[in-house]
Amino acid sequence: MFLTSAFVYGMHKLKEHRINKKIKSLGTWRKYVLIRDNYQCDICEKKSKRNQAHHLYSKEHYPKKQFKISNGITLCPKHHRDFHRWNGGTRQKCTLRDYERYKQKSDYQFVKNFRYTVVIVTLGLAVWKILQGLS
């Protein structure tokens, strides 16, 4: 039997709804978010048991969303800390839009750093070839 993507998406939402009803603590919510994302940071894609679950909508400002799995994303400690610094601290209001803007900034920073690395390596190879020609 062929399953349409809408049906599969609906089943995923139904399963998530059943799980959301069971979650009553942040520890359980954290576990489900990390397992869903396979312990992989959403930004650098680093997998680690030390990665952290981040609320897309801050639990202090959106208490009804604090235990919803869809309100979580897995981040490595570096990016989690960096996001909260960028956003003005852990007590600041946080939304999905804030996270998307931060992620876009991080992607730009990665491309910028990668470009510099390529230039440095290319210059290093050129210098090495020149030195080889002199010997």
Identify the bridge partners of residue 74 per DSSP, sorted by sequence position: 53
Residues spanned by the domain of 48: 5-134
- Tell me: pLDDT of 39 over 60: yes
Q: How many other C-beta atoms can be found within 10 angstroms of the C-beta atom of residue 109?
A: 11
What pLDDT shows up at residue 19? Answer: 65
Q: How far apart, in whole angstroms, are the C-alpha atoms of residue 80 and residue 54?
A: 7
More confident site: 14 or 67: 67
Q: pTM of the full predicted structure?
A: 0.66
Residue with tokens 């930004």: 43
Tell me the average pLDDT of the chain. 78
Q: What is the pLDDT of residue 111?
A: 52
pLDDT score recorded for residue 46: 92
Question: What stretches of the chain show up as alpha helix (H) in DSSP?
Answer: 5-22, 26-36, 77-87, 96-134
CB-CB contact of 5 with 43 (8 Å): no
Given pLDDT bands bounded at 50, 70 and 90, which one contains residue 122? low
58-112 tens-digit pLDDT? 999 999 999 999 999 999 999 999 999 999 988 889 999 999 999 888 765 655 5
Q: Residue 105 has what pLDDT?
A: 82
| DSSP run (H or E) holding 53 | strand 52-55
pLDDT above 60: residue 131? yes
Number of domains in the chain: 1
Q: Which amino acid is present at 84? A: H
Neighbours of 70 (CB within 10 A): 15
Distance CA 18, CA 36 (A): 15
21-25-27-33 Cα dihedral, nearest 10 degrees: 30
Mean pLDDT of 35-44: 93
